[in-house]
Amino acid sequence: MNLLNIASDDLPESSLEQSMSAVAAAIADPSRVSMLCALMDGRAWTATELSAVAGIAPSTTSGHLSRLLSNGLILCLTQGRHRYYRLAGREIAGLLETLMGVTINPGTSAVSRTPRHLRHARTCYDHLAGEIAVKIYDFMQQEGWLEPGGAALTPAGKTHFLHLGAVLNPLSRRKACCACLDWSERRFHLGGDAGAALLTLFRQKAWIAITPGYREVTFTARGKIALQRQFGVMNP
């Protein structure tokens, strides 16, 4: 009995390899890459806005969006007569982050080539990334807020999140907490539901300023004070 033949026969017409190639081809266009990068800020964008950021005519935008939709990279949300587009999920954001890291930081170089403003602090879909995020993660580890490996918050960590006002979702189907490898720092920052809750808190308390369409995060004067007091991050 040839197990390889059985496995091959059981595969659907669109094999894993073909599906991967289709996704790669969908990404492999400068205009579509520009759209995907814009959607990394976590917002929903209109086709007109995406055509502007990609620098293409509105008449050609629908074809690009259809390509991204058909390959599961984005979703279309309808509200009344308006249509909005956003990334299909955190996994797609993670894929794009990885591609950015491979492109900007060649494996042969030990020196980060990430633009300084992005390396300092940026959003990664729904959580914070960059140098500041790594420092926050290190603080949480040192203070015992995280279980070994960063798979969950400790009781002390949950208490501190409650004290800060970071609302966790006990019914979330995603990971409650996880260690995400930061592609610019090559160290871990906080992901999962806890990471999203922390970024939401920073926004609600106006500790950060984010320009729509850009991933760069700027800490306000209040935010810098909070980073020092709450997370021991000096001179953010």
Which domains can be identified in the chain, with CATH numbers? 14-88 (1.10.10.10), 113-231 (no CATH)
CB 121 within 8 A of CB 131: yes
CA angle 111, 227, 122 (to 5 degrees): 45
Apex 151 CA angle, 148 and 154, nearest 5:
65
Per residue of the chain (236 residues), give pLDDT as tens: 333 343 444 545 557 888 889 899 999 999 999 899 888 877 788 999 899 889 999 889 999 999 999 999 999 998 888 899 989 887 888 788 778 766 655 444 444 445 676 788 998 888 998 999 999 999 999 999 999 888 899 999 999 999 999 999 888 777 888 888 787 787 889 988 999 999 999 999 999 998 776 788 999 999 999 999 999 998 77
Residue 122's DSSP bridge partners are 129, 216
pLDDT at residue 16, as a whole number: 80
Residue of 39, 26, 109 whose CA lies nearest to 66 = 26
Task: Decide: residue 181, CB within 10 A, 0-12 exposed, 13-18 middle, 19+ buried.
Answer: middle
Q: Is the pTM of this model over 0.75?
A: no
Residues 183, 175: Cα–Cα separation, whole Å: 20
Query: 205: which DSSP letter?
Result: T
